[in-house]
Structure 1
Amino acid sequence: MKPWIRRTLIGVAGLGLVFGGLAACSHRMGHGWPASEADAAQWRERIVHKASRELDLDAAQQAKLNGLAEAMAAQRRALVGEMGANPRAEFQALIAGPQFDRAKGQALLDAKTGALRDGAPQVMSAAADFYDSLKPEQQQKLRDFMAKGRHGHWRT
């Protein structure tokens, strides 16, 4: 695997951990997947607010964090794509017959990897812009939060 692809995937996974960890610290808003656009927007707003408060972001940094949240939301919409509200049905269709539908499975995989490949540069750019705008102490606080893993909590 090429180094830039590996770094991109690690970066996207790291950002997923940050937002996933922040989500774990907040109250659950719904139990279905995928959430409606309204629920997802409300969730993003809460996460951005909490991160802004915990990292003590200024207006410019908060704008970059909002840009990152929007880029990630666009990536999520692209990944969910046509599966819509019932992704399980798409996977069940692969095993509906006597044999696994390899062609349909490959098409599904190609669509998802294509969406990831097309949207990852925007997400990485937004993540880099946000991270680079942070002061060294804010960067360290973010690294400490990520080091705690999934069950880490912001402590101030």
Structure 2
Amino acid sequence: MKSWIQRSLIGLTAATVVLGGLTACGSRGDHARGWSDERISEMRGKAIEKISDKLELNADQKAKLGVLADEMVASRTAFKGKSSDPRAEVKALVAGEKFDRAKAQALLDQKTQVVQDHGPKMFNALGDFYDSLTPAQQQQVREKMERRGRNWWGRG
């Protein structure tokens, strides 16, 4: 194949991939409404009930699962930050003629700090919950994790 044809095909393929990626990122579907506090609370409750039913948790275990869920919600909220539109923060990095490296580094530092602040609390809550499980329940969790994929706790 001639080199100019080859380069043209590679360029066309690259452009198609880039445009397809931008189109996929631009269409937000059902997520356009975002996650309200009520929706998060509703999903938290459903997840706790589903996991409690699958693992047959007692009241103490269910309480520890609730603490874990609270920590996860708090971490998510802190990571999201005060911005109502996290995409706007990223868009601001490329809004000018040049990529705003200083703002990107500040954003990275902010997100990293949130992970460092909330990560230990979340892992402690996860450890407390997991340690409260019976060996049979722990084995059930390991088996679910082993399957990974799409059928995590019946979602799919």
TM-score, normalised on structure 1? 0.76
SS of residue matched to 2:95: coil
The Cα offsets for residues 22-67 of structure 1, whole Å up to 9 and x where unpaired, read as xxxxxxxx63474111111101110010000000000000000000
Q: 1:81 to 1:154 in 2, by over 3 A?
A: closer
Match of 2:98 in 1: 99
Find the aligned partners of 2:33 and 2:103 in 1 and give their Cα distance.
22
Number of matched residues? 125
Equivalent positions of 1:137-156 (< 5 A) are 137-154=136-153
Computing the radius of gyration from Cα coordinates, the structure with the larger value is 2
Matched, 1:58 2:86: no
The one-letter code of the counterpart of 1:80 is: K
Q: How many angstroms does 1:83 deviate by?
A: 2.3
Match of 1:134 in 2: 133
The Cα offsets for residues 94-132 of structure 1, whole Å up to 9 and x where unpaired, read as 000111000110110000000000011110110000000
Q: How many angstroms does 1:147 deviate by?
A: 1.3
Match of 1:12 in 2: none
Q: 1:72 to 1:33 in 2, by over 3 A?
A: farther
User: Which runs of at least 4 in structure 1 moved beyond 6 Å after TM superposition?
Assistant: none
Matched, 1:74 2:74: yes
Find the aligned partners of 2:107 and 2:32 in 1 and give their Cα distance.
22
Q: How many angstroms does 1:150 deviate by?
A: 3.2
Structure 2: tracts of 5 or more residues without a match = 1-29
Find the aligned partners of 1:43 and 1:94 in 2 and give their Cα distance.
33
CA RMSD in angstroms comes to 1.5
Name which structure has the greater RCO, CA cutoff 8 Å, separation 6+. 1
Equivalent positions of 1:84-123 (< 5 A) are 84=84, 86-123=85-122
Q: How many angstroms does 1:149 deviate by?
A: 1.3
Find the aligned partners of 1:72 and 1:87 in 2 and give their Cα distance.
18
Find the aligned partners of 1:135 and 1:32 in 2 and give their Cα distance.
41
Q: 1:88 to 1:154 in 2, by over 3 A?
A: closer
Q: Is the 8 A contact 1:146 1:152 kept in 2?
A: no
